Structure 1
Amino acid sequence: MSDDIPLRVAASFHMSKIYINPSELESYVLYELQILLHQQSKSVSDFGLPKIPQHLLDDLQNRLIMEEKNFDREALIAEKLILESKMNDKQQMIYNMVISSNSSKKQELIFVYGHGGTGKTFLWKAITTALRAEGKIVLAVASSGIASLLLSFDQTAYSRFKIPLDLTDESMCNIKKQTNMASLLKKTEMIIWDEVPMNDRKCLEALDRTLRDIYDILEVPFGGLTFVLGGDFRQTLPLKKGCGKQKENVANFAEWLLQIGNGSVGIPDKSDLHNVSWIEIPEKFCIQHTKESLQQLISFIYDEELLRNPDAMKLQQQAIICPKNETVDIINNMIMRKKEGQQKTYTSCDSATPYSNDGGQTELLYPTEYLNCQNFPGLPPHELSLKIGVPIILLRNLNVAGGLCNGTRMIVTQLLSNLIEGEIIT
């Protein structure tokens, strides 16, 4: 048996592909050996081998911790050097501040402010790569599913920290002290939270109370854990260089939006001088109100060639943003009429759920015809008409790790009776 066990342990490591710190290799081997011996009602101590340290045994049995340690450190070190060489001065300054605070074990609460395209995601990647290369745990989350996809191996803040949906001033995250998640947080060196202005302040406050409780440090924010927050209170779209003839107009529009975000445009309202302003939209940024105005806008964004031969790379750069659902429906219908091909319509199955025994009354008050005519934000209409090749957007998270989350854009590739198939383009 003694000759057979090492071969089985080696095979186990080969299949699991776990990247092991050389200083802890002996303990990992002992752990694998302990599992094999346990099947024969034996222990490593029966063969005169040392016991596995309890703290390491706890880590090995915690799936969440093992996931956060399962990185190829040699590859991360090489990537770290590449990322450091590409930083600009401001990114380097913030990077040095974060890494220095971690090395000195000093808590820092940092907010990185910048609009889209200023390199915040690149900075998050550089910081996480540097810390993970040292075998440290850093949790990077984002407020939206799309943003979380840019942070490898990470999730949305709600998913990662189990933040309640119905928040109050006393809310705490659904994380108990003696759980794997609590153990993971205790071993975490830093938390990076992107797009944090999109969340209610109660989300951060709930996490603050939870961390103080887990760390048993009530007087220090977040239990003494370093936090790096990022985002843009203006939430404007980035300007893409080289956009063709309309580049100058787009640049002027982007600059005007930034001025609105900075509060330098507009006349303060007398009823609330500090929070409300009246803003006049320049005529050059408006679409003239004519019968053909919407059609001209659609033709400019989605020309006939793009609708005839949809291309994922081109559609990534094309979008029409509307403030009202009714405008979205009008534009969608106009695009559907322009797109060639057979149209398929899917209808919802609406019904009101009664409480207790008032089923008859509920059906009387909310007939199916009434429910069918309702159009709620974040939900498709009662009749959803599609054609193969049209662009669509996913409204609800299905599989964040696989790229299917709120805001994922796709091209319809197949329309079946109970299935819509699409190709991810973002």
Structure 2
Amino acid sequence: MIEDVALQETLNEEHKSAYEKILSIVDTSNGDVFFVDGPGGTGKTYLYKALLAVLRSQDKIAVAIATSRVADSIMPGGRTAHSRFKIPLTIDDGAICTFTKQSGTSKLLQKASLIIWDEASMAKRQSIEVLDNSMRDIMGRPGLPFGGKTIVFGGDFRQVLPVICKVSRGQIVAASLWSSYLWESMCHLKLVHNMRAKSDPWFAECLLRVGDGNEEVNIDGDVRLPDEVCVPYTGDDRVLDRLIDDIYPSLNENMSNTSYITSRAILTTRNDWVDIINMRMIDRFQREQMMYHSFDTAVDDPNNYYPSEFLNTLTPNGLPHTF
């Protein structure tokens, strides 16, 4: 986008240093691997958007992905890592992604000047290592990390680490990128200046205290959230309406505003609750209702192993068959 190209003019000194260092490596023969480390609010996404915009304005390919769907929706052209790279759900050491050398994904990665992976701190190290194995293979350069392709990872280890059921804290750390053989070979770029602190300094400081383990906790080790950032639970149906009103004020007036919709989200741990919240919000729309039916096709399926009739029987997370 044109406005994103102009972001390079407004980068602070930390951003500018990282921006110039990354661009100086793009398209060099051996590339490099970077990790942008910064707490929430330091402008990691701001930096990513500037990098994506300048390269795309030069007709170069810059691939943007993220570990979570919420994070990838913020970056132009973003997708989740598992969707873009065909990362298998079960990964053993030495595994590779499920795309083939002749696939569109392989050709895209071979031509890409830069790959940005946001929220890499949330990903299991095996997910990143499996991409490394595949990149070394398709680039024909097994001795270089990611086959000599320039890649920017980013995240904040104070926030959500890889989610693994019923394991110890040590096992979670062992599954994070921090414990990967790739970690020491990365060029680490730190962002410390909090850009959001100007508008909400209290919240920025609170996040740092929690992330650094300096916030007061109870005997169970839990942090009590301040009442100002909570919607009290009263046990009736109206509490959901109050939550929606707090997150999406003036929803009807802004339902066509893309930046309004994508700048906020309600997260929940269960898919059935997602459906309940979505239906409650849709019921608020005061416009004519339309029924849309999905058209399901499998990406990179030249042999038609997955016909539309079969895909229509599946109910994955995301958009339903009828909307």
Q: Shared fold by TM > 0.5?
A: yes
2:214 to 245, 252, 264: 264
- Which position in structure 2 is the counterpart of 1:172? 96
Letter in 2 for 1:196: A
- What SS does structure 2 have at the residue aligned with 1:278? coil
Question: 2-side partners of 1:105 and 1:147: how far apart?
Answer: 30
| CA distance 1:318–1:214, change in 2 (3 Å) | closer
TM-score (norm 1): 0.47
CA contact (8 A) 2:61 2:112 kept: yes
| CA distance 1:321–1:259, change in 2 (3 Å) | farther
1:115 equivalent in alignment to 2:39: yes
CA contact (8 A) 2:42 2:196 kept: no
- Give 1:289 deviation, angstroms: 8.3
- Give 1:204 deviation, angstroms: 0.4
1:191 to 94, 97, 115: 115
Q: Deviations over 1:184-217 (max 9, x none)?
A: 3222222111122222221101101111111222
Question: 2-side partners of 1:148 and 1:289: how far apart?
Answer: 30
Identity of aligned residues (%): 31
Question: 2-side partners of 1:324 and 1:180: how far apart?
Answer: 34
| CA distance 1:198–1:378, change in 2 (3 Å) | farther
- Which position in structure 1 is the counterpart of 2:155? 231
| CA distance 1:255–1:131, change in 2 (3 Å) | same
- Which position in structure 2 is the counterpart of 1:44? none
- Give 1:182 deviation, angstroms: 2.3
CA contact (8 A) 2:117 2:153 kept: yes
Q: How does 1:393-412 map to 2 (within 5 A)?
A: none
Q: How does 1:329-340 map to 2 (within 5 A)?
A: none
CA contact (8 A) 1:131 1:138 kept: yes
1:281 equivalent in alignment to 2:224: yes
Letter in 2 for 1:388: D
1:222 equivalent in alignment to 2:165: no
1:158 equivalent in alignment to 2:82: yes
- Give 1:114 deviation, angstroms: 2.2
Question: 2-side partners of 1:258 and 1:104: how far apart?
Answer: 37
Question: 1-side partners of 2:4 and 2:251: how far apart?
Answer: 41
TM-score (norm 2): 0.60
Question: 1-side partners of 2:159 and 2:144: how far apart?
Answer: 31
Question: 2-side partners of 1:101 and 1:213: how far apart?
Answer: 21
CA contact (8 A) 1:117 1:239 kept: yes
1:389 to 254, 276, 284: 284
| CA distance 1:291–1:143, change in 2 (3 Å) | closer
Q: How does 1:77-156 map to 2 (within 5 A)?
A: 80=5, 82-102=6-26, 104-156=28-80
Question: 1-side partners of 2:282 and 2:57: how far apart?
Answer: 47
Q: How does 1:30-69 map to 2 (within 5 A)?
A: none
Letter in 2 for 1:260: V
- Give 1:318 deviation, angstroms: 10
| Structure in which a larger fraction of residues adopt strand | 1
Q: Deviations over 1:155-197 (max 9, x none)?
A: 2222221111233334311122233432332222221111222
- What SS does structure 2 have at the residue aligned with 1:302? helix
Letter in 2 for 1:164: P
CA contact (8 A) 1:167 1:203 kept: yes
Question: 2-side partners of 1:298 and 1:146: how far apart?
Answer: 22
CA contact (8 A) 1:144 1:156 kept: yes
- Structure 2 regions of 5+ residues with no counterpart? 161-194, 287-293, 296-315
- What SS does structure 1 have at the residue aligned with 2:158? coil
Q: Deviations over 1:234-267 (max 9, x none)?
A: 349x95866xxxx6xxx43542232111223367
Count of aligned positions: 255
RMSD across aligned positions (CA):
4.6
- What SS does structure 1 have at the residue aligned with 2:133? helix
- Which position in structure 2 is the counterpart of 1:360? none
Q: Deviations over 1:86-125 (max 9, x none)?
A: 1110110001101111264342211112233322222122
Q: Deviations over 1:70-96 (max 9, x none)?
A: xxxxx97x974x332111101100011
Q: Deviations over 1:386-415 (max 9, x none)?
A: 773179xxxxxx89xxxxx9799xxxxxxx
Q: Deviations over 1:274-331 (max 9, x none)?
A: xxx824537766979896999789658738xx57966447975997967766xxxxxx
CA contact (8 A) 1:301 1:318 kept: no
| CA distance 1:207–1:377, change in 2 (3 Å) | farther
Question: 2-side partners of 1:317 and 1:183: how far apart?
Answer: 30
Letter in 2 for 1:187: K
Question: 2-side partners of 1:106 and 1:316: how far apart?
Answer: 40
Letter in 2 for 1:190: L
